[in-house]
Structure 1
């Protein structure tokens, strides 16, 4: 039996394509903040969301099972001449527990490998 391809879903059965992910950790609290960016949502195309059940959460699915996350915020950014073209969707959430973080990172590594993504550090600005 083959392992399922890692996927990200807002609506059951509609796999979304992650464009970027930003991972940060608060120096004070140690809480990890995740920002996932999507350039488009398949759930919005052709009224797909009306034919599928909304999960009330972001679902990250891989060979270990499903991670269900309630985002702390989902922001739709529009642009274009009329301001009605969806440019991207930003989905934010926090991860406090170390074991949850480890599980999330296992998912992200599988998702990145399956989708030709690579991890890279943001260069730190040089001091004076």
Structure 2
């Protein structure tokens, strides 16, 4: 039995490639913040928003199943000479429960391995 390739989708059937993930834990509340950065989005490049089912959530799928996350914010950062070139998209959300955090981290480990990404602790 083969492992499912981990995917991230805003639109059903249209996988996205995350460029960077930043994880932070608020010391006062213990809440964990996730920031995912995408240098490009297939949904925009292919302009599929009218043909694909938008779930109002970002779906993270791997061999354990699907995690459906509703982002707290999506920021579209533009630049270039005319200011109209998409530089990146920043998607952030909060994970409050410990078991949800552990499941998210298992997904990220699989996603990082499948996409040749590495974890780097920029701590103290």
Question: Taking structure 1 as the reference length, what is the TM-score of the superposition?
Answer: 0.94
Q: Flag the structure with larger Rg.
A: 1
Residues 61-92 of structure 1: per-residue CA shift (max 9 Å, x gap) = 00000000011100000001111100000000
Instruction: Give the unaligned 5+ runs of structure 1.
Output: none
The separation in 2 between residues aligned to 1:55 and 1:14, in whole angstroms, is: 12
Structure (1/2) with the larger helix percentage: 1
Alignment of 1:1-128 (within 5 A): 1-122=1-122, 124=124
Residues 18-76 of structure 1: per-residue CA shift (max 9 Å, x gap) = 00000000000000000000000001113122221111101000000000001110000
Secondary structure in 2 aligned to 1:77? strand
Question: Taking structure 2 as the reference length, what is the TM-score of the superposition?
Answer: 0.97
The separation in 2 between residues aligned to 1:121 and 1:33, in whole angstroms, is: 15
Query: How far off its partner does 1:123 sit?
Result: 5.0
Instruction: Give the unaligned 5+ runs of structure 2.
Output: none
**4+ runs of 1 displaced by more than 3 Å?**
none
Aligned residues: 124
The separation in 2 between residues aligned to 1:30 and 1:59, in whole angstroms, is: 24
The separation in 1 between residues aligned to 2:94 and 2:43, in whole angstroms, is: 23
Secondary structure in 1 aligned to 2:23? strand
Q: CA RMSD in A?
A: 0.9
Secondary structure in 2 aligned to 1:49? coil
